[in-house]
Structure 1
Amino acid sequence: MRMNIGDKAPEILGKDEQGRDIRLSDYRGRKLVLYFYPKDNTSGCTAEACSLRDHYNELQGAGYEVVGVSKDSAASHVKFKEKHELPFPLIADVDKELLQAMGAWGEKVMYGKKTEGTIRTTFIINEEGVIEQIFAGKQVKTKEHAEQILSR
């Protein structure tokens, strides 16, 4: 399954690194940057998270909230957030439910080898919970991802 522009995002997003339920309705009236990344503390994922962190105030000023998602554990997310001072929640989708529901899990090629894993994907969800834009795979510029979102 893959979510597309115009689709309503799922209500239940998952649990963050503190075990709190994160729901789409928590962000009603705000735009949501829901970004899926492969792994905590890897170079590309750290660059992407830090881009969003460094421009967090600008994103909020433009009406956005940010939520990250990976299949890493809550404990891994806690360390990642603390190390990089990330001001937004990270969903620990260890069962890959949201990853699969959104279409951010699937076959990809890494170093010439086919594997199954997280496909780096960002969904821009509007104030009513509808997907407005999708950045996927190589479209995501990890070091400038916040600027990509702000300039859309």
Structure 2
Amino acid sequence: MQWNVDELENWEELRSFVDTALLPIYLYRKGKSVPEHAMRMNYLLNVAAAIEQKLKGRVLLYPVSYHFAEEQTSQEAPEGFVHQILLHFQGDRVRPAQTVEEANVLTLPVGDEDLDSSLRFEVTVDVLYKEIIRHWQRSSAK
């Protein structure tokens, strides 16, 4: 489920099935051109959307959270979800406001090389969505 009016129209009916919030986080860094930032953010959003499609029915994809890298902000996880997945670029310092154990948060880094490669994109999505499934399995085994 994506964060838009059409999909959230049936939120109350589907709420009991959606236990995972997927939060793409983009950190703006100096030294990159505006087109490069746009390409990177678009890539992150496309990865998040592809993961949501593979896990449809159990995941709510939030809009991108945009921060300046120098701010050192912590990401507040939305309430009411058993799992929170923070998706960000490798090397970005992203941390949840709560402890990982307290909030059941999984941080997933996305590589930022070969962003124009469709094969790299497919492999990235495949690896990340399988990691989310492993996270669910570990959590249910506790």
Higher relative contact order (CA 8 A, sep 6+): 1
Kindly indicate which of the two structures has a greater share of residues assigned to strand.
1
Name the larger-Rg structure. Answer: 2
TM-score range (shorter-chain normalised) is: 0.3 to 0.5
